[in-house]
Amino acid sequence: MTKMLDLWDIQGNVVRPYGRFGFPVARYLLLNVRHGRLARQWLADLVPRITTSATWGDGPGGVPKPMATLNMAINHAGLAALDVPQATLNSFPQEFTMGMRKRRDIIGDDGPSSPAHWDPVWRDSEGDKAVHILLTLNAQTPKAMQQQYDTIVQTVTDSQGAVALLDGHVGQDGQLMPYQEGHLLWEEGKPTAKEHFGYTDGIGDPYFEGIADPRYRVEGRGKQMEDGTWQPLATGEFLLGHIDEAREYPPAPEPVLFSRNGTYMVYRKLHQNVASFDALLQREGAHYPGGPELLAAKFVGRWRDNGAPLVSAPDAKSKAAWDATFAQASPEQQDAMLSDFVYDQDMSGARCPMSAHIRRLNPRASLEIKAGTCPGQFARDIGAFDTPGALANRRRILRRGLAYGNSSDRSSDKGNHGVIMMMLNADIARQYEFIQQQWVNYGNDFREGNDKEVLLGNHNPFDPTCVVHAADPQGDAPPRFVRNIPRLVETRGGDYFFVPSLTALRLVARGLIDPT
């Protein structure tokens, strides 16, 4: 039986990455709560404006598509400032209670990513400057964005100091802004799915039980079954109060009415060192068979221009054939070509390296390996788990957010450009933190020793183990090593937030949470 979710109770950004739904611009606002009771009144007035996951359109239960959306997330200090009872606060997991800054050693925010280098709004986060609430605004047009922003700022003004908008997001020219902007990158007058290193992004996004939108029901975005078919992931991987892949309820704060249909958001402002990235590609690509463009594809596991997966198109010749088929394919077939693949035929990493971004961040079924019969290769130990990708299925995340800033000057790493990553998961320690610690900054699960994932790894120029396999496309040549990878992505701020259901927001607003 198909699982039905109460979409009216779930915030809209859980189900929709707005950028792909016609909302190319965003603003992210941080607020400080200065008077609990009055702030709860402000919250009560704001709740009806929050965008839910309800279906857009004329169908049954459909609502009109808004010109602009509003969503809210609250960190642990924010819940305390809003007078959430201590027993409920105590029932949150440790990583959420501690917050991102105190977990920096676990997630590798060291050197240029350490909090000393974060935007002032995150760096000076104490007392009246403490971050409590995150409001995310997305809009179909810049005009609709300005209107939505003005409306929300007016509610803050009307709160008479109960909540305050925090200044201190670094803007394009280094000036401090009262919000963080985000936007799709444009090429030839059109919005694209590109990010600042030039890759096509926003392809892989898990689908889970209860999502009504058929656009997500693409093979490859759920979990792979023994017979090779795909099923949606369990809802509890992404929403509290629902059964997860272990057939258990994920740990959740009490009472159930407060946590059900909520989730956690990992917000990270990630600066991209575009000059270092370009220089690395040129330096290493000059003597790499296939040149810089194939090397760029090896870093991520997808070709930059259209996202073609390396496992399906491992060299220029097969890429040309893939492109020709893609051009003739229907949108559904194109989706399947982009997402419906596994690493079974590439267990050695000759096509898609073990250190490639998408293989590290979602290894699919390729971790369940045992020493195979072919020298240098591994065979999957089918039958060890109930689904081939059972290990990876517990580490999936929903990616939300957009690029920010402008990187047209690529002569220097300086400037203000990168990605605002908003990752949603039901268990920050098991999902996001595990990925960041074990798969991004450590390579042992992939038999890669200390090698880090190329784009995100907290590479250290003095660390001789910063190498990545980038095998030749033929697959039978010895692997190559790209040495001395510079730090390509640096953290500029962030925190762990709770994304409450609409029910939970009303309970907080009315002071009605009863944890007993």
Looking only at the bridges linking them, the beta strands covering 25-33 and 163-165 are antiparallel
Q: Is 18 left (phi over 0), alpha (psi -120 to 50) or beta?
A: alpha
Other Cβ atoms less than 10 A from the Cβ of 328: the count is 8
Determine if 428 is a binding residue for ligand HEM (CB under 6 A): no
Determine if 398 is a binding residue for ligand HEM (CB under 6 A): no
Determine if 307 is a binding residue for ligand HEM (CB under 6 A): yes
What's the min distance (Å) between Cβ of 361 and ligand HEM?
A: 4
What's the min distance (Å) between Cβ of 145 and ligand HEM?
A: 23
Pair 271, 196: CB distance under 8 Å: no
Other Cβ atoms less than 10 A from the Cβ of 144: the count is 18
* 19-27, 139-147, 200-208, 377-385 -> range binding ligand HEM (CB under 6 A): 200-208
**Selected binder of ligand HEM within 418, 443, 473, 500 (CB under 6 A):** 418
User: For residues 113 and 436, which CB has a smaller minimum distance to ligand HEM in the complex?
Assistant: 436
Pair 478, 350: CB distance under 8 Å: no
- HSE at residue 511, side-chain half, CA atoms within 13 A, is 10
Determine if 302 is a binding residue for ligand HEM (CB under 6 A): yes
Determine if 272 is a binding residue for ligand HEM (CB under 6 A): yes
Cis peptide before 255 (omega within 30 of 0): yes
User: For residues 131 and 488, which CB has a smaller minimum distance to ligand HEM in the complex?
Assistant: 488
What's the min distance (Å) between Cβ of 303 and ligand HEM?
A: 10
Query: Considering only residues 134-173, where is the footprint of ligand HEM by CB under 6 A?
Result: none
* 127-135, 147-155, 348-356, 415-423 -> range binding ligand HEM (CB under 6 A): 415-423
CA distance 147 to 153: 10
Determine if 455 is a binding residue for ligand HEM (CB under 6 A): yes
What's the min distance (Å) between Cβ of 15 and ligand HEM?
A: 17
What's the min distance (Å) between Cβ of 163 and ligand HEM?
A: 29
Strands (E), 87-207: 133-139, 163-165, 169-170, 176-177, 180-183, 186-187, 190-191
Q: Which residue is nearest to ligand HEM (CB)?
A: 204
Determine if 456 is a binding residue for ligand HEM (CB under 6 A): yes
Pair 26, 138: CB distance under 8 Å: yes
Determine if 448 is a binding residue for ligand HEM (CB under 6 A): no
Determine if 297 is a binding residue for ligand HEM (CB under 6 A): no
User: For residues 131 and 454, which CB has a smaller minimum distance to ligand HEM in the complex?
Assistant: 454
Determine if 199 is a binding residue for ligand HEM (CB under 6 A): yes
* 124-132, 196-204, 444-452, 469-477 -> range binding ligand HEM (CB under 6 A): 196-204
CA distance 25 to 4: 31
Pair 480, 470: CB distance under 8 Å: yes
* DSSP codes of every residue in 139-158: ESSHHHHHHHHHHHHHHHHH
Instruction: Give the residue among 359, 348, 351, 337 at the shortest CA–CA distance from 455.
Output: 359
- Tokens 């704001």 belong to 46
- Tokens 């709160």 belong to 159
* 91-99, 167-175, 358-366, 497-505 -> range binding ligand HEM (CB under 6 A): 358-366
Which structure tokens are listed for 370? 């045992």
**Residues near ligand HEM (CB under 6 A), total:** 27
Determine if 270 is a binding residue for ligand HEM (CB under 6 A): yes
Which structure tokens are listed for 121? 């709004």
Stretch 210-229: interaction string toward ligand HEM, x if CB under 6 A: --------------------
**Selected binder of ligand HEM within 39, 435, 468, 485 (CB under 6 A):** 435
DSSP tag of 54: P
CA distance 74 to 102: 17
User: For residues 33 and 367, which CB has a smaller minimum distance to ligand HEM in the complex?
Assistant: 367
Determine if 502 is a binding residue for ligand HEM (CB under 6 A): no
* 12-20, 76-84, 96-104, 202-210 -> range binding ligand HEM (CB under 6 A): 202-210
What's the min distance (Å) between Cβ of 350 and ligand HEM?
A: 18
Determine if 201 is a binding residue for ligand HEM (CB under 6 A): yes
Instruction: Give the residue among 484, 446, 440 at the shortest CA–CA distance from 107.
Output: 440
Sorted by sequence, the CB contacts under 8 Å of residue 30 that are 6+ apart come out as 121, 131, 132, 133, 134, 135, 165, 166, 169
What's the min distance (Å) between Cβ of 225 and ligand HEM?
A: 17
Kindly list the residues in this chain that would bind ligand HEM in the complex (CB under 6 A): 195, 197, 199, 201-204, 270, 272, 300, 302, 307, 357-358, 361-362, 397, 399, 418-419, 421, 423, 435-436, 455-456, 489
